Chain A
Amino acid sequence: MSVPGSGSRHFSPDPAPGPGRGVVAITAAAPERAADPAASDNAVELEGITKRFPGVVANKDISFAARRGTVHAIVGENGAGKSTLMKILYGVQRPDEGTIRVDGREVHLNSPSDAIDAGIGMVFQHFQLADNFTVLENVVLGAEKLHGIGDGARREIRRISEAYGLDVDPDALVEDLGVGARQRIEILKVLYRGAKVIILDEPTAVLVPQEVDELFDNLRELKSEGLTVLFISHKLDEVLSVADTITVIRRGTTVDTVDPASVNARQLAELMVGAELPTPQTEESTVTDRVVLRTEDLVLAGVGDGRNVLDGISLTIHAGEVLGIAGVEGNGQAELVEVIMGMREPTSGLVFLGDTDISDWRTREIREAGVAYIPEDRTRHGLLLEAPLWENRILGHQTEEPNAKGFLINAAGAKADTERIVKEYDVRTPSIFVTAGSLSGGNQQKLIVGREMSHEPKVLVASHPTRGVDVGAQASIWDIIRKARRDGLAVLLISADLEELIGLSDTIQVLLRGRLTGTFDPDTVTAEDLGAAMTGAAAPAAHAGAPTSDAQTSDVQTSDVQTSDVQPSEAQPSDVQPSEAPAGDGSTAPPAVAPPTDHTGDAEESR
């Protein structure tokens, strides 16, 4: 039984034309949020949903009801069964037991088109848009029968866009649009197909805080129009702020359904993991004055005569210090890491490990010299998915003990050490002979972290170390980073998780369009301040006012336009501390630099 690529499903021709088909008129259900959960009030009801795979119960007796006109959040660890549940709701998989009711009527969803017919639409985490198509073309693709592909469709898109405050221009080219706008197109696509229940799978994973706020405004608009949103997320603060009801899933079953007003993030997380939860707070400072990793004026030229991808990056990390780099993805973080790791030659500038100039060293020499590396994308850069765990333990340390003996691979040594890593770092696996690809993300990451910490590193370069891992693995990876810091490593931490950055770092620097544009003290900075600095936006207030007005377009692009007119050093929040890194020297922390005033970066940003 193969799971069809959910991607193609979105484009499958829609057999049943006509809007509002088969769905109880929305106007009937006025958004009375406090109403009793009477059956007719529920847009979607699941009862006793059970799904077994050979030997595994993915979902067991899942029951919850989402009231019409609400945002219903579903939270749970990775692997808790959320995605199976969503696949069942979207008709990709059929439950073995249990019933699904939409508007009180029992439905059998055998395919995504059944789900669409029943008024259920899904917005995937990874957008399914053709970049070289216009918004209109993307929306009508696979739904050509509904309103044609011309003016009728354009009118309908405009109508939906206005009705729900999505602010989507049907004739814009998708490749010109930012992430936030693309997400709104995805939502519009679903609405266009007549969905009354919208499933959003980890919708905020790709957004910066300001865009998240905009998305939440959109969601409120949707529910006020009587639509129902199923919101799947890890990020508990967001769930708490946007959801009307929260259902927690743990180990494949619904643990509890709670009212966000009655719980805090911590209690919610404990419900998710079923255990006491650690936080990413570091202990007292362990920063020393011994410089371990230093870069001097690193420049990486862009393609052609575009702006520099890295522009004068000078940073210093001391033993026992965690330097956090905040930034919207695509502002040079990946390139900075690749330059430091020797995977990319900088156009100019130097990298020092201790007192040694390692600018010309190759990746292998750098890793042998004690630079541990947790790559941003573990499946592309950190693992051989088709190779067994013990071979993955060798990867990156092919020349080092216990993996090698002279020019030979020491399979026995590597296997024994893999057993040790599996035990010490709590990698959940039946054996070290299974392929890395068969482990869950968290266990893959624990294997990588264990491997990297097994060669007495001096430096740890950690790129998004807890991205896509479950809460349990996240906690133990945080512990490992804290221990590395105590043990006197210099840690370069790059993360999109601002809470993680603030919690673990001794210093936070913001990378914007290839430049370090600000230094923040994690003890005083807030996520909003960082978010503003990351987008180059003046103040968080810039977008807050008008949820449905034109200001909604403010993706990164628009905020760029705004900032270039504002004097950034004034406009930035008061937490910016020019050249006041703890235990750092002035030269390492450039004062809040004005972002470049040219707009060449826009295309990059919107990717």
Chain B
Amino acid sequence: MSTFNARKALLGLAAPLLALLVAFLVTSAILLALGDPVVEVWQTILSWPRPRQFVQIINGATVYYLSAIAVAVGFRMNLFNIGVDGQYRVAAFAGALFAGQAWFPGPLNVLLTLVVAMATGGMWAGIAAYLKVKRGVSEVISTIMLNAIATGVVQWLLLKVAVKQQGSNTISTPPIPESSQLDGLAIVPGASNKVYTLLLLAIVVGVAYWFFIGKTRFGFDLRATGRSETAAVASGVKVPRMVVSTLVISGALAGLIGMPLLFGQDHSYGTTFQAGLGFAGIGIALLGRNHPLGIAVAALLWSFLDVQSNALQIKAGVASEVVFIIQGVILFAVVIAYELIRRADVRLEQQRVARELAGTRSDAPSVEGAAA
């Protein structure tokens, strides 16, 4: 048992480390080829972050984490919810609009906004679920299209409800009342900025994800469907129902992605609200192997690269976009490495089983035909 787990853990770690190494080498090669200062770039990126940057990393990771968990729920069932991006923007808009009305006092307003956002995200994903179950439309196609639709719908609705912000060209939903704004947690000593209060939400979501996927019957059915739909059907899983629930849950979680930003930073949904979080979530879920802790590490790494790259222009004279190359190569490498490791794992295990059985066989060779 112990050697078994050690092997698993070692193989599990080997892939991401390998991917990071490959990303390091490939990025260095690209920088060299372009005549950029390789050493300075890495010195900047790999320098120890200051307290203020620590806070930024945690905040960025919080949002990434929620996004990746939303994607991971689908991944566990072999559903590719590419639509997390659209789902979170629709939901953040609806949530911001709701919270801006200030119908409820302080914290209650926050809680109800979370519910509204989840419901909106879930419904938006529900469209794709309906199309898949009733019309056989691949969720990949429908969610991508729904992303485009989400962009249009939100922009259109924003124009209808928007308030003009003073001294700026941006428009946004009415700001949420101050009593509902979340100041943040001063948990990083020496930093002037604060960690999003809704970091707690991300932790709760992570624990809930771990619990529901790993410990409940629902989670078992979901994983079984992901591993083999045919076997799941034969075991009594109602696959269409699982598809709908999973996509809706994934969409509901996607609805939470914008909430830390809304309550901790922007206080309204406007044209400057952070975009592209859903797509980052796909990569982070892949890198974190859909595991709640793995995703946390991956989200921190992503956010770390984001924050550290900000100084590249100043310190190394290189565009900070170089970080996209790093992130992209990591993803490519990690997908390939996971597949290689998976195959190695299967082979090693088969050999191990054969070996151990060969051992027991020669010990007790004559139990073969014994009646059961």
The interface of chain A, by Cβ under 8 A from chain B, is 2, 53-57, 251, 273-278, 341, 343, 362-368, 373, 375, 380-387, 391, 394-399, 404, 407-409, 411, 424-426, 428-431, 433-435, 437-439, 472, 475-476, 479-480, 483
Q: Are B352 and A398 in contact (CB under 8 A)?
A: no
Q: Are B353 and A381 in contact (CB under 8 A)?
A: no
Q: Which of A275, A365, A395, A426 contacts B366 (CB 8 A)?
A: A275
Q: Tell me, yes or no, whether B25 is within 8 Å of chain A by CB.
A: no
Residues 187-240 of B at the A interface (beta carbon under 8 Å): 215-221, 223-224, 227-228, 230-231, 233-238
Q: Are A381 and B231 in contact (CB under 8 A)?
A: yes
B367: nearest residue on chain A (CB-CB)? A426
Task: Collect the chain A residues with CB atoms within 8 Å of residue B354's CB.
Answer: 53, 55-56
Q: Are B217 and A433 in contact (CB under 8 A)?
A: no
Residues 322-372 of B at the A interface (beta carbon under 8 Å): 343, 346-347, 349-358, 360-361, 365-372
Q: Are B369 and A475 in contact (CB under 8 A)?
A: yes
Task: Collect the chain B residues with CB atoms within 8 Å of residue A396's CB.
Answer: 234-236
B355: nearest residue on chain A (CB-CB)? A55
A480 to B228, CA, bound (A): 27
Q: Which of A365, A398, A437, A479 contacts B235 (CB 8 A)?
A: A398
Q: Are B369 and A472 in contact (CB under 8 A)?
A: yes
Considering only CB atoms and an 8 Å cut-off, how many residues of chain B contact the other chain? 44
Q: A362 CB to closest chain B CB, in angstroms?
A: 6
Q: Are B369 and A428 in contact (CB under 8 A)?
A: no
Subset of 17 A-B contacts with CB under 8 Å: A55-B352, A56-B358, A274-B365, A341-B234, A364-B236, A365-B236, A366-B236, A381-B234, A395-B224, A426-B372, A428-B357, A429-B353, A429-B357, A434-B349, A437-B350, A472-B368, A476-B370
Asked if A276 meets B356 with Cβ closer than 8 Å, knowing A435-B346, A437-B346, the reply is no
A368 to B217, CA, bound (A): 15
Q: Which of A278, A385, A430, A438 contacts B369 (CB 8 A)?
A: A278
Q: Are A362 and B357 in contact (CB under 8 A)?
A: no
Q: Are A407 and B216 in contact (CB under 8 A)?
A: yes
Q: A481 CB to closest chain B CB, in angstroms?
A: 10
Q: Which of B1, B236, B346, B372 contacts A425 (CB 8 A)?
A: B372
Task: Collect the chain A residues with CB atoms within 8 Å of residue B353's CB.
Answer: 429-430, 434, 438-439
Task: Collect the chain A residues with CB atoms within 8 Å of residue B367's CB.
Answer: 426
A178 to B365, CA, bound (A): 43
Q: Tell me, yes or no, whether B4 is within 8 Å of chain A by CB.
A: yes
Instruction: List 9 tightest A-B contacts by C-beta distance, closest first.
Output: A364-B236, A55-B355, A430-B356, A396-B235, A381-B234, A363-B236, A476-B372, A275-B369, A384-B227
Task: Collect the chain A residues with CB atoms within 8 Å of residue B361's CB.
Answer: 251, 428
Task: Collect the chain A residues with CB atoms within 8 Å of residue B220's CB.
Answer: 391, 394, 398, 409
Q: Are A395 and B231 in contact (CB under 8 A)?
A: yes
Q: A100 CB to closest chain B CB, in angstroms?
A: 24
Q: Are B369 and A433 in contact (CB under 8 A)?
A: no
Q: Are B370 and A409 in contact (CB under 8 A)?
A: no
Q: Are B360 and A428 in contact (CB under 8 A)?
A: yes
Residues 235-268 of B at the A interface (beta carbon under 8 Å): 235-238
Task: Collect the chain A residues with CB atoms within 8 Å of residue B227's CB.
Answer: 384-387
Count of A-B contacts judged by CB separation below 8 Å = 141
A275 to B364, CA, bound (A): 13
Q: Which of B233, B351, B369, B372 contacts A276 (CB 8 A)?
A: B369
Q: Are B351 and A380 in contact (CB under 8 A)?
A: no
Q: B345 CB to closest chain A CB, in angstroms?
A: 9
A430: nearest residue on chain B (CB-CB)? B356
Task: Collect the chain B residues with CB atoms within 8 Å of residue A363's CB.
Answer: 233-236
A470: nearest residue on chain B (CB-CB)? B368
Q: Are B349 and A438 in contact (CB under 8 A)?
A: yes
Given A56-B355, A382-B231, 13 other A-B residues pairs in contact with their CB atoms under 8 A: A55-B352, A251-B361, A273-B368, A276-B369, A367-B235, A375-B234, A384-B231, A395-B231, A408-B217, A409-B215, A430-B357, A434-B352, A475-B369
A387 to B76, CA, bound (A): 13
Task: Collect the chain B residues with CB atoms within 8 Å of residue A429's CB.
Answer: 353, 357
Task: Collect the chain B residues with CB atoms within 8 Å of residue A404's CB.
Answer: 217
Which of B217, B230, B350: most chain A CB closer than 10 A?
Answer: B217
The interface of chain B, by Cβ under 8 A from chain A, is 1, 4, 215-221, 223-224, 227-228, 230-231, 233-238, 343, 346-347, 349-358, 360-361, 365-372
A365 to B370, CA, bound (A): 35
Task: Collect the chain A residues with CB atoms within 8 Å of residue B235's CB.
Answer: 363-364, 367, 395-398
Q: B372 CB to closest chain A CB, in angstroms?
A: 4
Asked if A54 meets B372 with Cβ closer than 8 Å, knowing A362-B238, A380-B231, A396-B234, the reply is no
A404: nearest residue on chain B (CB-CB)? B217
Q: Are B351 and A435 in contact (CB under 8 A)?
A: no
B227: nearest residue on chain A (CB-CB)? A384
A7 to B371, CA, bound (A): 38
B357: nearest residue on chain A (CB-CB)? A428
Q: B290 CB to closest chain A CB, in angstroms?
A: 13
Asked if A438 meets B371 with Cβ closer than 8 Å, knowing A384-B224, A384-B231, A409-B220, the reply is no
Q: B129 CB to closest chain A CB, in angstroms?
A: 20
Q: Are B230 and A381 in contact (CB under 8 A)?
A: yes
Q: Are A408 and B236 in contact (CB under 8 A)?
A: no
A562 to B365, CA, bound (A): 52
Task: Collect the chain A residues with CB atoms within 8 Å of residue B223's CB.
Answer: 387
Q: Are B231 and A409 in contact (CB under 8 A)?
A: no
A426: nearest residue on chain B (CB-CB)? B372
B354: nearest residue on chain A (CB-CB)? A56
Task: Collect the chain B residues with CB atoms within 8 Å of residue A343's CB.
Answer: 233-234
Task: Collect the chain B residues with CB atoms within 8 Å of residue A435's CB.
Answer: 346, 349
Q: Are B234 and A53 in contact (CB under 8 A)?
A: no
Task: Collect the chain B residues with CB atoms within 8 Å of residue A391's CB.
Answer: 220
Q: Are A273 and B369 in contact (CB under 8 A)?
A: yes
Task: Collect the chain A residues with CB atoms within 8 Å of residue B236's CB.
Answer: 362-368, 396, 398-399
A394 to B214, CA, bound (A): 13
Q: Are A399 and B238 in contact (CB under 8 A)?
A: no
Q: Are A54 and B221 in contact (CB under 8 A)?
A: no
Task: Collect the chain A residues with CB atoms within 8 Å of residue B216's CB.
Answer: 407-409
A391 to B235, CA, bound (A): 12
Q: Are B218 and A407 in contact (CB under 8 A)?
A: yes
Q: B176 CB to closest chain A CB, in angstroms?
A: 36
Q: B341 CB to closest chain A CB, in angstroms?
A: 13
A392: nearest residue on chain B (CB-CB)? B231
A409 to B223, CA, bound (A): 13
Q: Which of A55, A56, A398, A437 contacts B217 (CB 8 A)?
A: A398
A364: nearest residue on chain B (CB-CB)? B236
Q: Are A55 and B358 in contact (CB under 8 A)?
A: yes
Q: A367 CB to closest chain B CB, in angstroms?
A: 5
A343 to B240, CA, bound (A): 13
Q: Which of B221, B224, B233, B346 contacts A438 (CB 8 A)?
A: B346
A84 to B351, CA, bound (A): 14
A434 to B219, CA, bound (A): 20
Asked if A384 meets B234 with Cβ closer than 8 Å, knowing A409-B216, A409-B219, A438-B346, the reply is no
Task: Collect the chain A residues with CB atoms within 8 Å of residue B219's CB.
Answer: 409
Q: A416 CB to closest chain B CB, in angstroms?
A: 15
Task: Collect the chain A residues with CB atoms within 8 Å of residue B349's CB.
Answer: 434-435, 438
Task: Collect the chain B residues with CB atoms within 8 Å of residue A387's CB.
Answer: 223-224, 227
Q: A393 CB to closest chain B CB, in angstroms?
A: 11
Task: Collect the chain A residues with CB atoms within 8 Å of residue B231's CB.
Answer: 380-384, 395
Task: Collect the chain B residues with CB atoms within 8 Å of residue A394's CB.
Answer: 220
A352 to B13, CA, bound (A): 53
A409: nearest residue on chain B (CB-CB)? B220
Q: B75 CB to closest chain A CB, in angstroms?
A: 14
Q: B150 CB to closest chain A CB, in angstroms?
A: 33
Task: Collect the chain B residues with CB atoms within 8 Å of residue A57's CB.
Answer: 358
Q: Are B228 and A385 in contact (CB under 8 A)?
A: yes
A408 to B358, CA, bound (A): 37
A592 to B350, CA, bound (A): 49
B361: nearest residue on chain A (CB-CB)? A251
Q: Are A55 and B351 in contact (CB under 8 A)?
A: yes
Q: Are B234 and A56 in contact (CB under 8 A)?
A: no
A375: nearest residue on chain B (CB-CB)? B234
A198 to B230, CA, bound (A): 36
A430 to B351, CA, bound (A): 11
